[in-house]
Chains A and B, each alone.
Chain A
Amino acid sequence: MSAGSSSAFAARGLAPYLFLAPAALFALVFLVGPLGFALWVSTTDWNGIGAARPVGWGNYRYLFEQDPFFMRSLLNTFLFAAGSLIVGVPLALGIAVLIARSRLQSMWRMLFWLPMITNIVAIAYIWRFLLNDTNGLLNRALDLLGLPGPDWLTGINWAMPSLIMVSAWMTLGHNVLLFLAGLNEIDHSYHEAAELDGAGPLRLFWHVTLPLLRPTLLFVTVTSLITALSSFALMLVMTEGGPARATTVAGLYLYDMAFTDLRLGRASAAAFVLAAIILAFSLAQFRLLRRGGVERH
């Protein structure tokens, strides 16, 4: 054993740790540290400038018992998430099924993908212009048909459905891509066998494709739900939560609480509540969709 080889061994022993050092340091400074800090802030009345007084569970209790808008913002969040799932997932599945059986797959996929590479400010303004009460393309088209156009973004009852529509449009390509990946994994022999048995396209989809697509369906539903529950960029840029808080989702509410009102304690508590809700939802959904039926194919 020469000194050289043992030092080489020492270097190799240290190497993985050096490779991991940046990530480990980052985890400490930008993940563990901030999470601990936020947890502590959520038990104080800190306003970002002065001293922080401990208030225990006070902020959490305040959110549920006294805060006039927190429950409303949670309701808006659920409304937005439910709408996005109900509109977005079946639409994406349908389009993916159509694309999977067509030529020029990558061209179709790319077209539906366009909004996914567009910044949210551009998306918000594209749709603000399209949905403008008087000059927007949509209401002008409705006008030509002799139909009264709704006040898409300024009407209290219309703003949330409008946002759901824009969000579905924006995320469609992502879900189409995932469904396509799932569809391409399905063994063709299943379809051929069913077709030989005389199954029509609808029965084929319902009894063969859909059950085999279950893992993808689960994945798409869970990720869409998590994304929808935690998203607020679209609301911030497009409606700023209005009109009359109709589109103030929980994420936006706590963001404003922190950076406009400087109520950091309450905002941090709200952030943990929302994170806990998202975690609970995704766990429940996994259980529900896993139970009974194909676990893996």
Chain B
Amino acid sequence: MRPPHPLALLRYAALTLGALAMALPFADMFLGALRTPQELLAVPQVYWPRDPQWRNFARVFDELPMATWLANSVFVTSAITLLQLITSAMAGYALAKFRVPGTTLMLRLVLGAQMFPFFLLIIPIFFLLRFVPLLGGNDLWGQGGSGLLGSYAALVLPFAVSWYGIFLMRQFCLGVPDEVIDAARLDGAGEFRIFLTIVLPLIRPGLATLGIFVFVYHWNEVIWTITVTRGASGLQTLPVGIYLLRGAFADQSTEALQRAAICISVLPVMLVFLGLQRFYVRGLTAGSVKG
């Protein structure tokens, strides 16, 4: 091996500095979760915990509805992921492999719909869900109750379809050879059987990419969840519950607990991400940069 070029050394030094700037904030959060109340109240605050309070990670489950939040996060995120996988694969397949009147229009819709920012839709969707007739205590005219707002449906349904997901699945379905599909048709297979037994297995890498992407995105979603669950504490997800209960941590001696709860909210996504990183990266670059 030849000795490293001085420029290369400089490059690695700069990259290490950058990596430290990315990792240190997380380490600071974690260290703080291990401090004792006395260490938190000391002036100046003790930075390096002398007697690491690992119990803090268990205590947040005793003292906060962490288990409910965690269950809600898992349920809502899984439901959205599953729904988006199904709807994206179906629509993506139709847009890739069928040429019938209406598919061009739908493709344009899929591309155009991605341009509408969420802040434009959040107000009308909130009130449309509230005024769903006959549900959540509403009468026939959608008055009197809270409609779908107090239910999981309010957290899941507005994200049942992803335009980006449909587009991504279409790209993957385009790679499925027509011959395979036609051969199955000649063998007398129905269209849904072809979709289930031939197309889905062939686009499995695409489904993995979309699945992990959707999971990470919706685990971290807060704006819509804050809006819908401000008054429905039983429906709050991990990040949202921690945020809305911030008043409980006003006393500085409880800072470590808040930090512990936040660490727990970050951990599941980190694990999923580290395990499935290659699928995730592919989803982000697919179809974005076409030189």
| Interface status of B198 (Cβ within 8 A of chain A) | no
- Docked-complex contact A271 and B123, CB < 8 angstroms: yes
Query: Which A residues are in CB contact (< 8 Å) with B120?
Result: 35, 38, 271-272, 275
Given A16-B94, A120-B220, A121-B239, CB of A33 within 8 Å of CB of B128 = yes
- Give the tally of cross-chain contacts (CB within 8 A): 240
- Docked-complex contact A22 and B161, CB < 8 angstroms: yes
Instruction: List CB contacts (< 8 Å) of A131-149 with chain B.
Output: 134-135, 137, 140
| Interface status of B74 (Cβ within 8 A of chain A) | no
Bound-state Cα–Cα, A38 to B61, Å? 41
Interface centre among B23, B113, B117, B269 (most CB of A within 10 A): B117
Residue of B nearest to A25 (CB): B161
* Interface range, A side: 35 or more
| Interface status of B178 (Cβ within 8 A of chain A) | no
Bound-state Cα–Cα, A279 to B289, Å? 20
| Interface status of B197 (Cβ within 8 A of chain A) | no
Q: CB within 8 A of B15: which of A33, A98, A275? A: A98
- Docked-complex contact B90 and A20, CB < 8 angstroms: yes
Q: CB within 8 A of A11: which of B191, B222, B243? A: B191
| Interface status of B122 (Cβ within 8 A of chain A) | yes
Given A19-B94, A35-B116, CB of A259 within 8 Å of CB of B124 = no
Residue of B nearest to A215 (CB): B291
A59 to chain B, nearest CB (A): 13
- Docked-complex contact A34 and B128, CB < 8 angstroms: yes
Bound-state Cα–Cα, A114 to B98, Å? 40
Bound-state Cα–Cα, A169 to B122, Å? 27
Given A19-B195, A22-B161, A130-B25, CB of A122 within 8 Å of CB of B266 = yes
- Docked-complex contact B243 and A114, CB < 8 angstroms: no
| Interface status of B153 (Cβ within 8 A of chain A) | no
* Interface range, B side: 35 or more
Given A98-B14, A101-B11, A296-B291, CB of A122 within 8 Å of CB of B265 = yes
Interface positions of B (Cβ within 8 A of A): 7-8, 11-12, 14-15, 18-19, 21-26, 28-29, 32, 44-45, 47, 86-87, 90-91, 93-95, 98, 100, 102-103, 106, 109-110, 113, 115-128, 157-158, 160-161, 166, 185, 188, 190-192, 195, 216, 219-220, 222-223, 226-227, 238-240, 242-243, 255, 258-259, 262, 265-266, 269-270, 273-274, 277, 281, 284-285, 288-291
10 smallest A-B Cβ distances: which pairs? A34-B124, A16-B98, A15-B191, A19-B94, A119-B220, A26-B161, A121-B239, A119-B239, A23-B91, A38-B124
Q: List 10 A-B contacts (CB under 8 A).
A: A15-B192, A19-B98, A20-B103, A31-B113, A121-B243, A137-B47, A177-B284, A178-B284, A219-B289, A267-B123
